[in-house]
Amino acid sequence: MHCPNCKGKNIGKIGNQQFYCWNCFIELSLLGDVLDLHQVEQDGSLSSLNDLFSEDERKASW
Ligand SMILES: [Zn+2]
- pLDDT tens digit string along 41-50? 889 899 999 9
Phi, psi of 31 (to 5 degrees): -115, 100
Phi, psi of 2 (to 5 degrees): -135, 160
Dihedral sign (CA 54, 20, 5, 25): positive
| pLDDT, mean over the chain | 91
pLDDT of residue 18: 95
What is the per-residue pLDDT across 48-62, written as a single tens digit (0 to 9) for each? 999 999 999 999 765
pLDDT of residue 24: 92
Q: How far is the CA of 9 from the centre of ligand 1 (A)?
A: 8
Task: Report which of 19, 24, 21, 18 is spatially closest to residue 9, judged by C-alpha positions.
Answer: 21
HSE at residue 61, side-chain half, CA atoms within 13 A, is 10
Q: How far is the CA of 40 from the centre of ligand 1 (A)?
A: 13
Q: Per-domain residue ranges for the chain?
A: 11-58
Compute the C-alpha angle 29/30/36, nearest 5°: 55
- The environment of the single-atom ion ligand 1, i.e. residues with CB closer than 5 A, is 3, 5-6, 8, 21, 23-24
